[in-house]
A and B are shown apart, each in its own frame.
Chain A
Amino acid sequence: ILNVEQSPQSLHVQEGDSTNFTCSFPSSNFYALHWYRWETAKSPEALFVMTLNGDEKKKGRISATLNTKEGYSYLYIKGSQPEDSATYLCALHMEYGNKLVFGAGTILRVKS
């Protein structure tokens, strides 16, 4: 059974703080690492799809890095805003087909 671990489980920060969280996975054959943002009562929304070791992606204040050799990905949020409050899920895109194996997520709460 493939385990995708996310830490921390939850995080409370003040508006303006920068924060980061981790997705860990066993180094194995996979196509890509996905990050999703999931706001309460809404649909999970894709942030990044990362495929290469050393890959770094950025969207506004949010960025992510991928280290496939050591089996981790970091998600960074610079200058957190209340609207960043959500659950952030990572998922391994397995080599065969389009199957995603998700972590349990990191819940971020940003206080104004």
Chain B
Amino acid sequence: DTEVTQTPKHLVMGMTNKKSLKCEQHMGHRAMYWYKQKAKKPPELMFVYSYEKLSINESVPSRFSPECPNSSLLNLHLHALQPEDSALYLCASSPQYGGSPHEQFFGPGTRLTVL
């Protein structure tokens, strides 16, 4: 199974809501990533988890809270978001963090709209 799955595919939320994005992989990868992509812009790295520990936080606002409960699952908890946070959120995984340059395997993304 070389698939990274993300749920939900689409999410509409108000600024006072709390929601979560979910990402799952069963390839035995030990590094997982969250990216954010605004329209016509490159995907931008938000967080990196390695062996279930947060390794990189690219100065992301605290209204985004990542969680890696186990090696297969990655969550992104959302609270008090702003309309400018509307974007496509991509999850990815790779065999490991660091070392040889491995390709990253991406999910299809969650399209988030904040009203």
Binding site for B on A (CB under 8 A): 4, 31-32, 34, 36, 41-46, 49, 51, 89, 93, 97-105
Q: Which B residue sits closest to A98, measured CB to CB?
A: B97
- Please determine whether B45 and A99 come into contact, CB atoms closer than 8 angstroms: yes
Determine if A99 and B56 form an interchain contact, defined as CB atoms under 8 angstroms apart.
yes
Residues 80-115 of B at the A interface (beta carbon under 8 Å): 90, 94, 96-98, 101-109
Query: With A44-B106, A46-B105, A49-B103 as given contacts, are A99 and B48 in contact (CB-CB < 8 Å)?
Result: yes
Whether A46 contacts B103 by the Cβ 8 Å rule is yes
Chain B residues near A (Cβ < 8 Å) = 4, 31, 40-45, 48, 55-56, 90, 94, 96-98, 101-109
Which of B45, B48, B55, B101 is the most central at the interface, judged by chain A CB atoms within 10 Å of its CB? Answer: B101
B101 CB contact (under 8 Å) in A51, A103, A105:
A51
B104–A103 contact, CB under 8 A? no
CB distance A98 to B40 under 8 Å? Answer: no
Contact A43 B107 (CB under 8 A): yes
Shortest distance from the beta carbon of B60 to any chain A beta carbon, whole Å: 14
